[in-house]
């Protein structure tokens, strides 16, 4: 997979645009798993996310950041991909909790994926099970700094490496042969290597 190139030289107008972008992040209120319970305290008066210009948004067409809040089952993954592809650029993904990093306590379940970054590009991950609202606020402020400096461009990676992501998505969503049993292990690994190249 190609590494993302960060442009060192940024024009004045980019800086101005990014300044306003990072001050008005609208996050899509799409809740998967158990992490969604940490968002109401983050949004309401105790931690008050809105003082940084972060607010909830109901539709993907108007949202800037997608929070994946917890374990992702195969059915949810399908919806997450549809949602992510509907969002207009620039868009960012915040993966929430250890389930989206390595599967967490559901790592050996038959219907939850283990690493979200294989299927959609992730800008920033918050570890913890569950992360406290302070961690969420910290991650969102880090995301704001990354937007200002031009580092938060994972959505460009999705376009450049579309085949890699699509192959990974199809591998889990469009199974045609049994994973256990007849199919030898090497077969699958070979397919995966091809997709990465």
By CB under 8 A, residue 114 contacts other proteins: yes
DSSP conformational letter for 128? S
Q: Is 164 in the site for other proteins (CB under 8 A)?
A: no
User: Which of 149, 99, 166, 168 is closest to 128 using CA atoms?
Assistant: 99
Give exposure, 42-68, as e/b (b: 16+ Cβ within 10 Å): bbeeebebeeeebeebeebeebbbbbb
Contact 38, 130 (CB under 8 A): yes
Whole-angstrom Cα distance, residue 28 to residue 60?
Answer: 6
Say whether residue 181 binds other proteins (CB under 8 A).
Answer: yes
Residue 179 binding other proteins, by CB under 8 A: yes
Q: Does 169 bind other proteins (CB under 8 A)?
A: no
For residue 84, what is the DSSP state?
H
By CB under 8 A, residue 103 contacts other proteins: yes
Q: Which helix (H) or strand (E) holds 51?
A: none
Task: Establish if 1 lies at the interface with other proteins (CB under 8 A).
Answer: no
Nearer to other proteins, 70 or 133 (CB): 70
83 or 148: CB nearest other proteins = 83
Our finding on whether 188 is near other proteins (CB under 8 A) is: yes
CA 196 to chain centre: 19
User: Between residues 69 and 112, which has the closer beta carbon with respect to other proteins?
Assistant: 112
174 touches other proteins by CB under 8 A: yes
Indicate whether 15 belongs to the interface with other proteins (CB under 8 A). no
Residues that bind other proteins (CB under 8 A): 74-75, 78, 98, 101-103, 107-115, 118, 171-181, 185, 188, 192
């Amino acid at each position: 997979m190609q590494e993302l190139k960060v442009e060192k030289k940024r024009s004045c107008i980019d800086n101005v645009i990014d300044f306003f972008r990072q001050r008005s992040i609208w996050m899509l209120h799409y809740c998967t798993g158990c992490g969604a319970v940490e968002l109401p305290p983050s949004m309401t008066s105790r931690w008050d996310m809105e003082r940084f210009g972060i607010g909830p948004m109901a539709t993907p067409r108007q949202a800037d950041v997608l929070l994946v809040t917890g374990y992702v089952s195969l059915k949810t993954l399908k919806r997450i991909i549809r949602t992510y592809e509907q969002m207009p650029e620039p868009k960012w993904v915040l993966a929430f909790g250890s389930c989206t990093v390595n599967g967490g306590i559901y790592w050996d379940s038959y219907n939850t994926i283990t690493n979200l970054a294989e299927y959609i590009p992730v800008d920033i991950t918050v570890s913890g099970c569950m992360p406290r609202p302070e961690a969420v606020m910290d991650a969102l402020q880090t995301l704001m700094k990354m937007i200002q400096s031009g580092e938060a461009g994972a959505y460009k990676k999705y376009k450049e490496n579309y085949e890699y992501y699509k192959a990974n998505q199809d591998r889990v969503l469009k199974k045609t042969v049994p994973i256990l049993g007849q199919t030898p292990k090497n077969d699958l690994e070979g397919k995966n290597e091809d997709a990465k190249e």
